A and B are shown apart, each in its own frame.
Chain A
């Protein structure tokens, strides 16, 4: 079996007396693609932030690519993110006035690569998401779908083993959303582990694995069901 990239064991996150996430057990192995689906406020983003080491859990242990997050300092977590995790957000996070090539190259700014290499890889990543002709376009010259493709290029420019996408199609119409999902499937096909958060059941059902979450608890995991089925 492939090694786990994400391993949550009894993870909980509380904000005051709000339990955003409770007793979550989840293992994501290298090369998997899964959806985390649930209604608004169910704790999806909380779970993604914990997987992405942007937030620490209140209880439980988190292992990312073999590293126990508890053992790492804030600096070391930053370095882990720089190398291991790519993020895609609903709101693109592209700075105005910055050409696509520079925005994508910034995805490698904290990796230690020299600038020439960063730009070369950025160009390759933009070609990979089909934006070869738009290297020098600024965000205001791009459609929503194109912006999200730039953001995806930025997330995968360093070829991280883990790609976390929080509602990547949330701000897009269905056509652009479909293009973005197709792209994520391609990246998965090329070996990247992809975790997609969505509240769109159709999208969730189209992915190989579906984790349903409600009120901070995992109530359904298609992989676990399959394993049980195999066991029976």
Chain B
């Protein structure tokens, strides 16, 4: 015969061929399934790129949204870890009769008596205003306030002095002032020192220190802080604290939060507003959720449109490749093998988009987080979910075209050439 080995020994010649064993189709190996599925993609690279791009944009949008929000969460939790979540503030609220209440002047001492308390400090708002110089019209306050500050304020709040010194026992008696970051900027003060003078309460004060911005106590950013005795003497300050800052033991913060009102003002605890600034900071971050939801929805729509694109590509592919389908049937492919081939092609196509989309989403997250100075965090579940979602889409998009391809009668398919 020939030099070739037949794949299966031919039935031995017999006068009456005995009813041969029923032929059984061979299974394709996984590698062959993937190779065959990929063969349709390789011959149409541009179309593959564009259909995969549709999927990729959807996945990238979703990965980007999740990644950016996770990165900002990570930034927040790092920030909170640095700032601490155990800062509590007590401020006077409205009195029973609706007037502005005030805290007792020994509120700080009483707060300090709580056993779980680590430190306590306070500021008191004065009626004085601060100006760049004595020629600025009095009504142009620029939203800046002047406070009397206790010398232990930085320890409790955790605020940093970036230039010069903080108020101390020695300088609080003199007309010396420490400026919050926004105050300094607005008054045009770049550096603390004897030459840095501001017009405060009808006289010149020397700027002895500048503060770094602080997110737990943003009110200090637009404050000018003078020593408690100086405020009482020079600015007619009444001596009542308007914000009491406390740091409680981490484990006892919520308990302390509940009793703080009654502690600083035992006579009328309802007139005290207690808050936990770290909660406010977290809540501010949470308001972005609505936008994230919207973007996530847009990503889902893009993904859906991408899926429709893949389905469209697959339907066209099946129509164009009827002759190939006919040929494969003549070579012995079963309907199931044709179906598998086109389903595999669809899965590969969308998986390509999915992997590209995840990469694009990571790039977008990295870029945005880098620009914001955040750490980049893309959760693994989002990446796995992205690729998983594209596989589902690929399966759905490829199902109908694959079934149609498999149902095509071989003679009709061959006639299409």
Listed in ascending order, the chain A residues whose CB lies under 8 Å from chain B are 1-4, 30, 49, 52, 54-55, 65-68, 72, 74-85, 87, 89, 91, 93, 95-98, 106-115, 121, 124-125, 128, 154, 156-161, 190-192
Q: Is B284 an interface residue (CB 8 A)?
A: no
Interface membership of B324, Cβ < 8 A:
yes
Q: In the complex, what's the smallest C-beta–C-beta distance from B413 to chain A, in angstroms?
A: 9
Q: Check if B4 sits within 8 Å of A121, measured CB to CB.
A: yes
Decide if B139 is an interface residue (CB 8 Å cutoff): no
CA distance A80 to B17 in the complex (A): 16
- Taking the closest CB of chain A, its distance from the CB of B147, in whole angstroms, is 78
Given the complex of chains A and B, what is the CA–CA distance between A154 and B323 in angstroms?
16
- Smallest Cβ-Cβ distance to A7: which chain B residue: B17
When A79-B26, A89-B414, A108-B7 are in contact, do A65 and B20 touch as well, CB less than 8 Å?
Answer: yes
**Given contacts A66-B20, A161-B10, is CB(A75)–CB(B31) below 8 Å?**
no
| Contact B25 A109, beta carbon cutoff 8 Å | no
Asked if B70 CB lies within 8 Å of chain A CBs, one says no
**Is B31 in contact with A78, judged by CB distance below 8 angstroms?**
no
By beta carbon, the residue of chain B nearest A50 is B411
Contact call A81/B335, Cβ cutoff below 8 A: no
Q: A54-B410, A83-B8, A110-B331 are in contact. Are A75 and B42 (CB under 8 A)?
A: no
User: Lowest 7 CB-CB distances: which A-B pairs, in order?
Assistant: A82-B332, A112-B26, A66-B17, A79-B23, A110-B332, A79-B25, A78-B334
B332: A residues at CB distance < 8 A: 78-83, 110-111
At the interface, yes or no: B290 with Cβ under 8 Å from chain A?
no
Check if A190 sits within 8 Å of B23, measured CB to CB: no
Query: When chains A and B are docked, how far (Å) is the Cα of A113 from the Cα of B8?
Result: 10
For residue B331, which residues in chain A have a CB less than 8 angstroms away from its CB? Answer: 81-82, 87, 106-107, 109-110, 154
Residues of B within 8 A of A156 (CB): 4
User: Which residues 103-117 in B have Cβ within 8 Å of A in the complex?
Assistant: none
User: B183-225: which have CB < 8 Å to A?
Assistant: none
Check B373 for interface membership: any CB of A closer than 8 A.
Answer: no
**Cβ-neighbour of A3 out of B15, B31, B328 (below 8 A):** B15
Task: Given A109-B28, A158-B7, A159-B5, decide whether A75 and B336 contact each other with a Cβ distance below 8 A.
Answer: yes
B410 to A, closest residue via Cβ: A54
- For chain B, the bracket of interface size reads 35 or more
CB-CB under 8 A from A96, the residues of chain B are 43
Chain A nearest CB: distance from B10 CB in Å? 6
Contact of A66 among B18, B326, B330 (CB under 8 A): B18
Q: Which residues on the B side are within 8 Å of A66 (C-beta)?
A: 11, 17-20
Closest to A75 in B: B334
Known: A72-B22, A78-B333, A93-B417. 11 other contacts (CB 8 A): A1-B15, A67-B19, A78-B337, A79-B26, A79-B334, A82-B332, A110-B25, A110-B26, A112-B26, A190-B1, A192-B2
Contacts of B330 in A (CB 8 A): 52, 54, 81, 85, 87
Task: Determine the distance from Cα of A79 to Cα of B18 in the docked complex, in whole angstroms.
Answer: 18
Set of chain B residues within 8 Å of A54, measured between Cβ atoms: 329-330, 410-411, 414
Contacting residue for A158 out of B6, B27, B31, CB 8 A: B6
Given contacts A1-B15, A54-B411, A66-B18, contact A78 B25 (CB under 8 A): yes
Q: Are B7 and A83 in contact (CB under 8 A)?
A: yes
**Contacting pair A97 B42 (CB below 8 A):** yes
For A112, the chain B residues whose CB sits under 8 A away are 7, 26-27
Closest Cβ of chain A: how far from B15's Cβ, in Å?
7
Least CB distance from A185 to B in Å reads 14
* B388 CB–A CB distance under 8 Å: no
What's the minimum C-beta distance from B33 to chain A, rounded to whole angstroms? 10
CA distance A72 to B25 in the complex (A): 12
Contacts of A80 in B (CB 8 A): 23, 332
